[in-house]
Chains A and B, each alone.
Chain A
Amino acid sequence: MDSLEKINADFATLFRDGRTLLDKGCGAVINGCREEAFRKFVDLGGIPFKKEEYSYLNLLPLFSRDYNVVLKYIRQEVDMNETFRCAVTNLQTNPVLTVNGWWFDENIEPEIPEEVVICSLREASVKYPDLLARHYNHYASAARNDGLVALNTAFAQDGIFVYVPDDVVMERPLQIINLLRANTGLMAFQRNLIILGKNARASVLVCDHTLSEQEFLVNNTTEVYLGPRARMEYYQVQNQHLGASQINSLFVSEHRNSVFESNLVTLYGGTIRNNMYVAMNEEGGECHLYGMYILDKNQIVDNFSYIDHIAPHCISNEHFKGVMDDASLANFSGCIRVRPDAQKTEAYQANNNLLLTDTARVNTKPQLVIDADDVKCSHGATVGQLDEEAMFYLRSRGIGLEEARMMMMFGFAHDIIQRVKLEPLRVEIDNLIDKRLRGELSKCHHCVMKCKK
């Protein structure tokens, strides 16, 4: 049996044998999706291998390792709230922790408007079956060809649930801190659902971290529903160790005049795959996806996006930039789909890469699929080295070669980071980028936000 078949067979066994545990404590909506999802996983050939969406990423080495899969919540013997007093200077957030994909059972009660719900997904699936039935797994289905998303649905047991009802504004940003901690290699699944009613507003900051040095593979799927005129800012900082890999999928369903803005910063990790699917279902929607990745050693980051302009008069704007050192690999694949009815669409996409060595690699594939005739769309990608003329300019002012390189790279990254609207967070991320570029973050296994070095 070759390794792909073995991996797929192992998942089949795990699904069959673990079914009772999987279902335990989860509401009917979550459990009701499992069978079909697993069937889809099987029908798609299991783990994506030589598929178009994964053409530059070989997942087999990642899935061939030995991991434990734990289908129930394991209490942590340390107080995470203490280990993880995570604060961005001057930014007050409502922190919520997950451990290995599960809602941390000692999370501090967030200070939120009373109509807002922030709780574990499994709790929500029991308490709010109607909301789950209306939203759960409705948006993740956009990934029609992705076996990993189907796998997540088959194995999902917990994660974060957020509900901001109509006309409610959640002033304080929600900070979701995803922690990984285990004694042996671990594979985990996490599933999140965020629902913003009409006119609702929220900012969400997601921080991905590792607290122990084992190998991790996390399959994390987040669905976001934005009602009419809802606005959401979404920030994610990925800072894990080199043995921690993740498949991170984000699905956004936008409705009339809603606005989604995201900024995805990849600082450290093993193999990181980010899937971003945005559906512009009704007129007037707006979405801005920004991303910055800084890689070295043998890191791999693979960003995949699919922006679906279904309705007319929507705007989407996507800009990802990356700096690659050593033998790292970055992939970017972005598709803008404009459907026949989506007239007056404005869609822009850009991907710029800086290669610092001869051994670093970039694959970039911007795609436009347009079936409407009255649209404004553009896409473009660049791969290059530091601009010689600019380097000379800096050096001619007395700035040494190394420092000039730093400034250029920092400037390159800041172009993306300046889009972060929460000022304290922007300052903090700028600091992190600066440290990252100077190689000062490399040994940090902990929360980037509290890194005092």
Chain B
Amino acid sequence: MLKIKNLHAAVDGKEILKGINLEIREGEVHAIMGPNGAGKSTLSSVLTGRERFEVTEGEIEFNGKDLLQLPAEDRAREGIFMSFQYPVEIPGVSTVNFLKTAVNEIRKYRGQPPFPAGDFLKMIRQKMELVGIDNKLLNRSLNEGFSGGEKKKNEIFQMAVLEPKLAILDETDSGLDIDALRIVANGVNKLKRPDNATIVITHYQRLLDYIVPDVVHVLYDGRIVKTAGKELVAELEEKGYDWIKEEVGR
């Protein structure tokens, strides 16, 4: 599904990613862990097409397409979704209108007719139940005045509605208490299917107690320095990141 080859990226002239190689197949859950400043968020920004980040070398293939040639909206339409670490508040735009526009823009790209208006709300309700989100959020302005937990839940709710092929959860656990974390993780697990994949980007083990990864990568100084199974999570939790730094000799 996703093939990243020798990816180098810079922001404001400073190189952050220094040669990432990563392959993700359908049905897999990958965790990308690493200390602060390792390049985790840069990687998600490059994948989703944030323009501030400049790719200096390497390539990304997504379902056979050259991802780096696509603007942010087309990447989403191809099936990439990122749950934001800091979801943006957009006053005056109701959540329901926003979702309707997003769904129909994606359908248009795929040559499908707009979602039948009558069924749309029904679909939305089902997804709300799935994620356990309050009905009242629908008519409120997008994320405006939402608590941290509500914002993150709203991200997963959007994910449920848009049904991406590849979901990137960028530090989704930050700022969540344990109950909210469980709800969010639960939502993600329910959305898991054999034909989609998930990347969980996180600093801590917490979220990975609930969303169990198939593969764990450690990102350090712009490179993936270690890849292993889920047992690596516990090891990192126990020993921290220092031993990795020593292992890679820096």
A interface list, Cβ under 8 A from B: 387, 389-390, 392-401, 403-404, 407-408, 410-415, 418
Shortest Cβ distance from A363 into chain B, in angstroms? 25
Report which of B82, B93, B97 forms a contact with A396, defined as CB distance below 8 A: B82
CB pair A394 B109 closer than 8 Å:
no
Interface hits, B82-106 → A, CB 8 Å: 82, 84, 87-88, 90-93, 97-98, 101-102, 105-106
Given the known A-B contacts A390-B88, A392-B50, are A407 and B76 also in contact in the complex, defined by CB atoms under 8 Å?
no
The reply to whether B92 and A396 contact each other, CB–CB distance below 8 Å, is no
Residues of A within 8 A of B92 (CB): 410-415, 418
Task: State in angstroms the CA–CA spacing of A412 and B48 once bound together.
Answer: 26
Q: Does B133 contact A (CB under 8 A)?
A: no
- Residues of the B chain whose Cβ atoms lie less than 8 Å from the Cβ of A404: 73
* Cβ contact within 8 Å between A395 and B73: yes
Whether the Cβ atoms of B93 and A407 lie closer than 8 Å is yes
Interface residue? B72 (CB, 8 A): yes
User: Judging by beta carbons under 8 Å apart, are A398 and B106 in contact?
Assistant: yes
Residues of A within 8 A of B213 (CB): none
A-B contact pairs, 6 of them (CB 8 A): A393-B90, A397-B76, A403-B101, A407-B97, A407-B98, A410-B92
Complex Cα distance, B93 from A413, in Å, reads 10
Please, which residue of chain A has its CB at the minimum distance from the CB of B93?
A: A411
Residues of B153-177 at the interface with A, using a CB-CB cut-off of 8 Å, are: 158, 162
Q: B227 within 8 Å of A by Cβ? A: no
Starting from the known contacts A395-B73, A396-B72, A407-B90, 5 additional A-B residue pairs (CB-CB under 8 Å) come to A394-B98, A396-B48, A398-B77, A399-B102, A414-B92
In the complex, chain B residues whose CB is within 8 Å of the CB of A413: 92
Q: How far does the alpha carbon of A24 sit from the alpha carbon of B170 in the complex, in Å? A: 76
Report the minimum CB–CB distance from A336 to chain B (whole Å): 24
> Closest CB of chain B to A399's CB: distance in Å?
5
Establish whether residues A395 and B88, one from each chain, have CB atoms under 8 Å apart when the complex forms: no
Closest-CB distance, A418 to chain B (whole angstroms) = 8
Contact check, B91 vs A397: say whether CB atoms are below 8 A apart.
no
Residue pair B93, A400 in contact (C-beta under 8 Å): no
- Check B91–A415 contact: CB distance below 8 A: yes
B211-248: CB near A (< 8 Å → 1, else 0) gives 00000000000000000000000000000000000000
Q: Are A393 and B84 also in contact (CB < 8 A) when A398-B162, A401-B71, A407-B101 are?
A: yes
Which of B48, B77, B82, B93 interacts with A410 by CB under 8 Å?
Answer: B93
Residues of B within 8 A of A418 (CB): 92
For the complex, give the distance between the alpha carbons of A325 and B222 in Å.
42
Query: Do A392 and B72 touch across chains, with their CB atoms under 8 A apart?
Result: yes
Contact A398 B91 (CB under 8 A): no
* Chain B neighbourhood of A396, CB < 8 A: 48-49, 72-73, 75-76, 81-82, 84
CB neighbours (8 Å) of A398 from chain B are: 73, 76-77, 102, 105-106, 109, 162
Contacts of B50 in A (CB 8 A): 392
Give Cα A410 to B98, complex, Å.
12
Which A residues are CB-close (under 8 A) to B72? Answer: 392, 395-396
Query: Cα distance A393–B151 when bound, in Å?
Result: 13
Shortest A107–chain B CB gap in Å is 37
A390 touches B90 (CB 8 A): yes
Known: A392-B50, A415-B91. Is A399-B105 also a contact (CB below 8 A)? yes
Of all A-B residue pairs in the complex, the 6 with the closest CB atoms, nearest first, are A411-B92, A414-B92, A398-B76, A411-B93, A398-B106, A397-B102
How distant is A433 from chain B, measured CB to nearest CB, in Å? 10
Q: Is the CB of A399 within 8 A of B73?
A: yes
CA A411 to CA B97, docked complex, whole Å: 11
Residue B141 CB within 8 A of the other chain: yes
Which of B92, B101, B109 has the most chain A CB within a 10 Å cutoff? B92
Interface centre among B48, B50, B71, B72, by most chain A C-beta atoms within 10 angstroms, is B72
User: Contacts A393-B84, A396-B82, A397-B158: A411 and B73 contacting too (C-beta < 8 A)?
Assistant: no
Could you tell me the distance between the alpha carbons of A395 and B90 in the complex, rounded to whole angstroms? 13
Q: Which of B81, B90, B141 contacts A394 (CB 8 A)?
A: B90
Residues in B neighbouring A403, C-beta threshold 8 A: 101, 105
The interface centre, meaning the residue of A396, A407, A413 with most chain B CB atoms within 10 A of its CB, is A396
**In angstroms, how far is the closest chain B Cβ from the Cβ of A384?**
14
| Interface contact B101-A393, CB-CB below 8 Å | no
Residues of A within 8 A of B73 (CB): 395-396, 398-401, 404
Least CB distance from B163 to A in Å reads: 11
Q: List residues of chain A with CB within 8 A of the CB of B93.
A: 407-408, 410-411, 414
Contact of A395 among B71, B98, B141 (CB under 8 A): B71
Q: B40-67 vs A: 1/0 string, CB under 8 Å?
A: 0000000011110000000000000000
CA distance A412 to B75 in the complex (A): 26
Cα(A74)–Cα(B76), bound, Å: 61
Chain A residues in 8 Å Cβ range of B97: 407
Task: Please name all residues of chain B whose beta carbon is closer than 8 Å to the beta carbon of A410 when the two chains form the complex.
Answer: 92-93
Cβ contacts under 8 Å, B49 to chain A: 395-396
Chain A hits for B48, CB < 8 A: 396
Chain B nearest Cβ from A105, distance in angstroms: 43
A399 touches B88 (CB 8 A): no
Judging by beta carbons under 8 Å apart, are B105 and A400 in contact?
A: yes
Instruction: List, in ascending order, chain A residues with CB within 8 A of B90's CB.
Output: 390, 393-394, 407-408, 411
* Residues on B with beta carbons closer than 8 Å to the beta carbon of A397: 76, 81, 98, 102, 158, 162
Separation in Å of the B155 CB from the closest CB of chain A?
A: 10
Chain B residues whose CB sits within 8 angstroms of the CB of A392 once the complex forms: 50-51, 72, 88
- A424, B50: Cα distance in complex, Å: 40
CB-CB under 8 A for A389 and B76, given A398-B109, A398-B162, A400-B105: no
Closest A residue to B73 using CB positions: A395
A141 to B71: give the CA distance in the assembly, Å.
Answer: 58
CB distance from A290 to the nearest CB of B (A): 13
**Nearest Cβ on chain A to B216's Cβ, whole angstroms:** 25
